[in-house]
């Protein structure tokens, strides 16, 4: 398939340019925050607050934004291209030029959530469940923006869905960005939405968060191992794996651990009753 003719810049006025990549982050953060607010009444977060009091989530969006941007950028600098940024430290904060890592953003958000939960006396696991439920929204739009930017494309393929990217050579490649948008974004969102609205999973702090972390880790590992082209300056690692694969493996393990803790704690409560 030919690559669709979509300009990465939506519109530009003088030096200001609105890019699809930036819009994806805006939709993910703002849309995710409103989605979290709709789910919050089903959790224990509001139990200790009177209806007349300010919501404990009022300024959460600011914390998530800072954690996402700083963590994502620093994660990319440290995990994927430390040598370049050591030689060009002035480029570290040039976020508008691209270069964000989900694993770094995940760590940044985790730190922000722990601080925020402590500050507002909120169970960090319950808050993590809310954020995990909404994160696939940002992942979906972020991967679509990666596709529009013609970046992070996949390996060469003869598959029907192969795309000839303008900067990926003359042969078709896997649109791995769209595979990730489906797995990490749409599919994971549907699974978590079902668990949040149709089951008692929100009453088991840490369960939704664990399923998200494990689900993301597994999805990313599959795409990294079979479809995605590794960063040119890193290449393949041991066994034909990629940096993204190894950064996702601990997420799979950690996610399964949180699922185990959440279900084990619930079973323990039932046995005590």
Which two structure tokens, joined as six digits, stand for 200? Answer: 């008692």
Give me Rg for the CA atoms of the chain: 20
Please give the helix or strand (H or E) that residue 93 lies within, else none: none
Give the span between the Cα atoms of 191 and 202, in whole angstroms: 13
Contacts 24+ apart (CB under 8 A), 17-24: 19/96, 19/145, 20/144, 20/145, 20/148, 20/149, 21/98, 21/142, 21/145, 21/146, 21/148, 21/149, 22/96, 23/141, 23/145, 24/138, 24/141, 24/142, 24/144, 24/145
Residue 143 marked ligand-binding: yes
Provide CB contacts within 8 A for 270, sequence distance 6+.
none
Which candidate, 75, 130, 132, 74, places its Cα nearest to that of 103? 75
Give the span between the Cα atoms of 98 and 151, in whole angstroms: 10
Contacts 24+ apart (CB under 8 A), 231-235: 231/80, 231/81, 233/81, 233/84, 234/80
Q: Are strands 16-19 and 9-13 parallel, antiparallel or unpaired?
A: antiparallel
* Binding-site residue ranges: 143
């Amino acid at each position: 398939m030919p690559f669709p003719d979509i300009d990465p810049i939506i519109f530009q006025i003088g030096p200001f340019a609105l890019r699809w990549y930036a819009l994806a982050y805006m939709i993910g953060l703002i849309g995710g925050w409103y989605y979290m607010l709709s789910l919050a009444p089903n959790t224990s977060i509001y139990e200790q607050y009177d209806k007349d009091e300010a919501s404990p989530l009022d300024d959460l969006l600011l914390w998530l934004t800072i954690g996402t941007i700083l963590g994502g950028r620093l994660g990319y600098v440290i995990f994927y291209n430390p040598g370049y940024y050591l030689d060009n430290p002035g480029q570290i904060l040039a976020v508008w030029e691209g270069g964000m890592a989900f694993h770094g953003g995940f760590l940044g958000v985790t730190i922000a959530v722990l601080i925020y939960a402590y500050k507002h006396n909120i169970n960090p696991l319950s808050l993590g469940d809310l954020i995990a439920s909404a994160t696939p929204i940002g992942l979906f739009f972020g991967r679509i923006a990666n596709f529009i930017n013609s970046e992070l494309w996949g390996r060469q393929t003869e598959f029907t869905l192969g795309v000839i990217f303008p900067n990926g050579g003359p042969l078709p490649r896997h649109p791995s960005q769209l595979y990730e948008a489906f797995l990490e974004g749409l599919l994971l969102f549907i699974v978590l939405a079902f668990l949040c609205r149709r089951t008692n999973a929100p009453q088991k702090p840490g369960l939704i968060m664990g399923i998200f972390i494990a689900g993301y880790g597994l999805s990313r590992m599959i795409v990294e191992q079979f479809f995605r082209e590794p960063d040119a300056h890193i290449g393949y690692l041991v066994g034909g794996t990629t940096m993204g694969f190894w950064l996702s493996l601990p997420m799979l393990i950690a996610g399964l651990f949180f699922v185990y803790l959440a279900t084990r704690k619930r079973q323990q409560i039932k046995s005590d009753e």
